[in-house]
Amino acid sequence: MLQMALHRGSVLGAGFVGATGKCYTVSMSQVQAKIAQQEFALDAEEIARQLRDVMPDPLGDHYVVVAGKRYPPKQVISLVTGLDRADFNTHQARRILSRLGFTVGRRSRESPLASPDRPGPHRGREADLLRPFAGRWVAQRGLEVLVAADTPEAVLGWLERHNQQADAMFRVPGDQTTATGVAPA
Amino acid sequence: MRFPYKELPGASKDYLRPAVPVAVEGISRAPQLCLLDTGALHNRFAGWVAHAAGIDLTDADEERFVVGGFVAAARRASVQLTLGEVTWEAPVWFCDPWPLAFHLLGQEGFFRWFNVRLRAAIYEIEITPEA
């Protein structure tokens, strides 16, 4: 059960949702939410800080982007509230995070478009999917990036913890040397 | 076995490389992307792979060479590798530092064992084990 209430002294803004009065935004970066009969004051900057060193769990269909990383919405809400993930659903988590100003999305609705003008077996689609991870280690299944991290050990640890099998692991090139082996002049 | 070329992003242009995923014993959850390097004499992998896979390099043969403008120390071990459904035992030189995005498959530890056809025009790799 989730409700979001108006924070005392705050201004009701564009965050109002529906006529039932259940969902309000306190400010552009704060909401007060009632989840599983408990009240929580959630702050976007604080959430980003708490997630700074947290690797995303395997994604389902839904995700939220925090500091450039995609997380399952329920992972984020569970982490910042301490609640069990069974205490709320994905749509509730998405709604709160969206109100906090985070980008939320569905993976099944997105697909970088292959271009017939570009070379390659996937017409540039794979390169485009990898581009945001330049310089980082990734584990890939199909064309999708399962996990990205700054060290190969972190990627391996994530695969082990989440019992995931990758198709390939490598470092996404961040420069010409990494991609080709050609030494800088 | 057939594999597509790997599309790797670049700043001004993307890189299309004939690279395949090779599983190393001990870290089979994460097959390592390896470039088919016909000019390489040996299989050369990043040093962290040996550590992660629990491969003991104590008392291993050691040599120094230059890759990507870096002088790297390489130590040799015999390792079980798997490509698709084919598993073989091959010497691998584990290198530190390792500047590349992928590892290298060379003559001694790979091409000796496989018949490889690169079809660059259609970005496809065909690999069959040697009889």
The verdict on a CB contact (< 8 Å) between A181 and B99 is yes
The verdict on a CB contact (< 8 Å) between A167 and B31 is yes
User: Between A and B, how many residue pairs show a Cβ–Cβ distance under 8 A?
Assistant: 107
The verdict on a CB contact (< 8 Å) between A165 and B29 is yes
CB contacts of A164 in chain B (<8 Å) are 29
pLDDT tens, N- to C-terminus, chain B (131 residues): 999 999 999 888 899 999 999 999 999 999 999 999 999 999 999 999 999 999 999 999 999 988 777 888 999 999 999 999 999 999 999 999 998 999 999 999 999 999 999 999 999 999 999 97
Mutate to test the interface with B, among A137, A151, A178 (most CBs of B within 10 A): A178
Q: What is the pLDDT of residue A15?
A: 38
Give the pLDDT band (50/70/90) at residue A2. Answer: low
Q: Confirm if A59 and A70 have CB atoms less than 8 A apart.
A: yes
Does the CB of B105 have a partner CB in chain A at under 8 Å? no
pLDDT higher than threshold 50 for residue A19: no
- Please write the tens of the pLDDT for every residue from A29-81: 888 888 988 999 999 999 999 999 899 999 888 999 998 889 999 999 999 99
Give the pLDDT band (50/70/90) at residue A112. Answer: low
- ipTM score for this prediction: 0.93
